[in-house]
Every structure is written in C-alpha cells, then in structure tokens.
C-alpha cells in the first residue's frame, strides 16, 4: 500500500536536524554508543560503533541513507492505511529515534490502522522521556522533536487547506493527487530551521482554515463589480468636466 514511499529530502533533513552530526562516537543521554546522524548498533547496519571511532561527513551521510531503510520498511509493513509523503516521513523519523518495537506496540499504530489519522500528533507526545543515570526524565529535545514530527504529519492537511483556498476545491489529507512537491526539493537546513519552518506552517493553520472557507467566486464578483463601478464613476466625472 505504501511500498512506493521513501523518506523525502524534507524527512531526512528533519532527522539530521534533531540527531545532529557527530563524527566521533559518543554516548547519547540514554547511554547508547552513537555516531554520525544518530547511528547505533541497534540499526543493524555497518559499521559497528565502537568507543573512540571516527568517521567523515561523507561516511555519515552514507550510513544514514542505509540505516534509514529498516525503519522505512517497518513503517511500510506495520501501517495498514494509506500514507502521504509527509505522514510517512514523520513516522520514519519517530521509528528511527524511538525504535521499531515502540512503533509496533504503540497505541498510535493501533489507532492509525483503524483510520484515526488525527490521533498521531497527540500520541507522538507520549514519547518524550528517556532512561538516564537519574532515572527516566523528560528531555526538551524529545519534546521539540515530537512536536516537529506531529507538525510534519499534519503538513499534508495544511497544504490541502492552502490549495483549497486558492482553487476553491479543498483537498483531503489522504488525496493521492497531492504530490507535495514542496516536500521533495528542500535543501539541507541549519540545525533547528526544520523545527521553525514546520512550526510556522502549524501556526498558520487557523488562517488557512479560514481562507479555505471563503467562497472565492463571490469575492471575485464583488471585486469586479467594484472595479466596474469605479470606472463608470471616473467616466461620468470626465464627461461632466469636459
């Protein structure tokens, strides 16, 4: 059903933005040895991360491209309803960060497979804690990431509102005609810019919703009538002062 999907440039940029680039192996807040863009031995992709390991940026990019594949395949296997590109990207980012097991056993997946698309942003926010030496704590970085993934999930819906506002024909979030070209040609941003961009789209949702409810044909008729009236008034004044 979703076999044709691969993580888009926007999706990869979201992952890069939150994972950060580390060319020397380090221990993440959860105590897992990590390198590159969040690559760990749990990915099942070479190279195996060892203490003191160093890589180049080119190697980090190659590892990310290969390491993301098992998570893409997991989303395709587990999700039984159609996904748009931005929805797929959001779930791959979540699985890459939290693990395939957490996605598979989640209430999020159960509800989504019953057709509850709107539950996803709220369900994502349940995954904002990590085990540390001080016990399980809420991490601000995870809160920001879950919000960004939730906003990316809703991106199709918001773009549909905007399309409806300009054409007069609202597009549903699951409409296969929505190819989302904006999500395919995004250059890699500085860290944090993905969050700001997605947050901007999310905050604009009420405005887009208002615009989508306007009958633009009536607006066009009113505007044309106003222009015609102004032209007639100018013609009248010109003839009476000639």
Work out the burial of residue 218: count CB atoms within 10 Å of its CB; fewer than 13 is exposed, 13-18 middle, 19 or more buried: exposed
Sign of CA dihedral 92, 94, 97, 98: negative
Tokens of 35: 């390198």
- Is residue 119 among the annotated active site residues? no
Distance between CA atoms of 51 and 43, rounded to whole angstroms? 17
- Is residue 19 among the annotated active site residues? yes
Residues 165-194, buried b or exposed e (16+ Cβ, 10 A)? beeeeebebbeeebebeebeebeebeeeeb
Q: Of 19, 87, 149, 195, which one is the catalytic site residue? A: 19
Q: Of 28, 61, 119, 180, which one is the catalytic site residue? A: 28
CB-based contacts of 23-30 (< 8 A; 24+ apart in sequence): 23/54, 23/55, 23/56, 23/57, 23/60, 24/52, 24/53, 24/54, 25/49, 25/50, 25/51, 25/52, 25/53, 25/54, 29/130, 29/132, 29/139, 30/130, 30/131, 30/132
SS3 111: helix
User: What are the residue numbers of the active site?
Assistant: 19, 28
């Amino acid at each position: 059903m979703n076999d044709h999907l691969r993580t888009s440039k926007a999706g990869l940029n979201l992952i890069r933005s939150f994972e950060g680039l580390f060319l020397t192996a380090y221990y993440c807040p959860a105590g897992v040895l990590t390198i590159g863009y969040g690559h760990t031995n749990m990915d099942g992709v070479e190279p195996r991360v060892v203490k003191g390991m160093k890589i180049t940026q080119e190697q980090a990019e190659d590892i990310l491209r290969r390491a993301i594949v098992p998570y893409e395949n997991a989303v395709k296997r587990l999700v039984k309803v159609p996904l748009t590109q931005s929805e797929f990207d959001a779930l791959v980012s979540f699985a890459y960060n939290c693990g395939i097991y957490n996605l598979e056993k989640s209430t999020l997946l159960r509800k989504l497979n019953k057709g509850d698309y709107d539950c996803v942003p709220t369900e994502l926010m349940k995954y904002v804690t990590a085990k540390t030496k001080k016990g399980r704590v809420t991490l601000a970085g995870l809160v920001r990431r879950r919000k960004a993934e939730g906003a990316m999930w809703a991106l199709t819906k918001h773009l549909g509102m905007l399309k409806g506002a300009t054409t007069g024909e609202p597009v549903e979030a699951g409409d296969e005609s929505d190819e989302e070209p904006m999500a395919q040609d995004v250059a890699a941003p500085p860290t944090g810019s993905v969050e700001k961009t997605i947050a901007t789209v999310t905050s604009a949702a009420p405005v887009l919703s208002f615009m989508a409810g306007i009958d633009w044909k009536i607006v066009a008729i009113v505007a044309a009538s106003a222009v015609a009236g102004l032209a007639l008034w100018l013609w009248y004044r010109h003839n009476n002062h000639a």
